[in-house]
C-alpha cells in the first residue's frame, strides 16, 4: 500500500493505493474506531448478501453479479468501439466463404471476417469505476455499477483492447471537516487476464461496506460522526473512462455503456 495526500476542492484527501489482494485483507479497526465499526449491523439488505458470502468474496468473487450483468444489460455494439471495422482474414483451409478467383491463382481463398479495433494509444483503455454510496443507497442500486463495469470490460476485451481497471472509493468529512479518505484499488493491469467475477465483487455493496469501511476504520484518525459523505472523486487522467456514482439503475447503466462505447470511448 502507498499513501499520498492532496487537496482538491477544499478537501484534504488521504489516498491509499491498494492492490486487489491488499483490499481484501484490511487491518483490524484501530482502537479509537473499533466501537464505530462494531455499531453497524451490516445486515444482508445493506450488504446485498449474507455476511458469510461477503467474507467469501476474496476467494470466490461474485459470479452472481457477472450473471446478472450479462442477463440484465444489453452488450454495447462493438462495431462502435474505438472505430473498429470488420476486416477479412484469409486462410488456406478454413473460413466462412471461399473466393474462387483466389483459389485459381493459388492464393489463400477462405475468408473469415473479424473485428479489428482501430484508434490510437496502443489499444489500451483505463476504466476508473466509482464504488459505494451513502447509507441511504441500497445494495441493489450500488450493484448497477458492477454490472456496467463487467459489461464494459467484457466488451472491450472482446474487441481486442487491453483494459486497466481501478476502483475508487471516496468519502469526505469521515475524520473531521475538510478531510477525506480515498481508496484507489488497482484491480487489473492492461496485460492481466480478465476475472469478471473479481471485478463484480470489488464493486459490490458488500465489498465497499465491509472491506472498504474496515480500511477507513483502520486509520489513525478518529472517525468523525459516522463514515462520512460519499464523493464522486473523478480521476485526474482526462483519458480515463470513468464510471460515475450516478449509475444506480438499468437506465443509467445502459446510458453510460452507450456513451463509454462511443467513438471517443469516454463517458
Determine the average pLDDT of the residues in 42-66: 92
User: Please, how many CA atoms are within 13 Å of residue 222, restricted to the half-sphere of its CB?
Assistant: 4
Same domain, 165 and 213: yes
Is 88:111 a contact under the CB 8 Å cutoff?
A: yes
Same domain, 9 and 47: yes
Does residue 266 fall inside a structural domain? no
Same domain, 69 and 100: no
Same domain, 91 and 173: no
Q: What is the model's pLDDT at position 89?
A: 65
Does residue 267 fall inside a structural domain? no
Same domain, 84 and 199: no
- pLDDT tens for 152-185 read 998 888 777 889 999 998 888 887 777 888 889 9
Q: Most confidently modeled of 13-17, 85-89, 180-184, 241-245? A: 241-245
Determine the average pLDDT of the residues in 54-73: 91
Does residue 265 fall inside a structural domain? no
pTM: 0.79
Domain containing 48 equals: 2-77+120-260
DSSP assignment of 238-259: TTSEEE-TT--SHHHHHHHHHH
Integer Rg of the chain from CA: 22
Same domain, 174 and 194: yes
* Percent of the chain residues past pLDDT 70, beyond the cut: 83
C-alpha cell, 237? 487522467
C-alpha cell, 91? 486462410
Q: Which residue has the higher pLDDT, 12 or 47?
A: 47
Q: Most confidently modeled of 106-110, 113-117, 167-171? A: 167-171
Does residue 48 fall inside a structural domain? yes
Cell 456513451, located at residue = 259
- pLDDT tens for 73-96 read 875 553 344 433 345 667 777 766
Would you put residue 84 in left (φ > 0), alpha (ψ -120 to 50) or beta? beta
Say yes or no to pLDDT of 234 above 50. yes
Same domain, 107 and 225: no
Q: What is the model's pLDDT at position 124?
A: 87
Cross-strand partners of 113: 88
Q: What is the model's pLDDT at position 112?
A: 66
Strands 110-116 and 162-172: unpaired
Does residue 63 fall inside a structural domain? yes
Cell 463487467, located at residue = 150
Our count of domains for the chain comes to 2
Same domain, 210 and 96: no
Same domain, 69 and 193: yes
Amino acid at each position: 500500500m502507498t499513501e499520498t495526500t492532496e487537496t482538491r476542492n477544499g478537501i484534504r484527501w488521504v489516498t491509499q493505493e491498494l492492490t486487489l489482494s491488499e483490499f481484501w485483507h484490511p487491518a483490524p479497526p484501530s482502537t479509537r474506531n473499533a466501537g464505530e465499526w462494531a455499531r453497524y449491523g451490516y445486515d444482508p439488505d445493506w450488504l446485498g448478501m449474507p455476511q458469510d458470502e461477503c467474507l467469501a468474496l476474496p476467494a470466490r468473487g461474485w459470479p452472481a453479479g457477472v450473471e446478472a450483468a450479462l442477463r440484465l444489460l444489453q452488450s454495447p455494439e462493438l462495431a462502435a468501439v474505438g472505430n473498429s471495422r470488420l476486416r477479412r482474414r484469409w486462410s488456406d483451409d478454413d473460413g466462412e466463404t471461399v473466393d474462387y478467383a483466389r483459389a485459381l491463382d493459388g492464393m489463400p481463398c477462405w475468408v473469415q471476417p473479424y473485428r479489428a479495433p482501430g484508434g490510437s494509444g496502443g489499444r489500451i483503455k483505463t476504466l476508473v469505476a466509482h464504488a459505494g454510496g451513502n447509507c441511504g443507497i441500497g445494495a441493489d442500486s450500488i450493484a448497477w455499477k458492477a454490472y456496467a463495469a463487467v459489461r464494459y470490460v467484457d466488451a472491450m476485451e472482446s474487441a481486442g483492447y487491453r483494459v486497466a481497471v481501478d476502483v475508487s472509493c471516496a468519502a469526505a468529512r469521515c475524520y473531521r471537516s475538510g478531510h477525506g479518505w480515498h481508496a484507489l484499488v488497482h484491480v487489473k493491469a492492461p496485460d492481466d487476464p480478465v476475472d469478471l467475477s473479481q471485478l463484480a465483487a470489488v464493486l459490490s455493496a458488500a465489498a465497499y461496506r465491509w472491506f472498504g469501511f474496515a480500511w477507513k476504520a483502520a486509520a489513525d484518525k478518529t472517525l468523525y460522526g459516522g463514515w462520512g459523505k460519499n464523493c464522486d472523486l473523478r480521476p485526474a487522467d482526462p483519458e480515463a473512462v470513468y464510471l460515475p456514482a450516478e449509475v444506480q439503475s438499468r437506465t443509467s447503466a445502459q446510458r453510460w455503456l452507450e456513451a463509454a462505447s462511443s467513438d471517443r470511448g469516454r463517458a
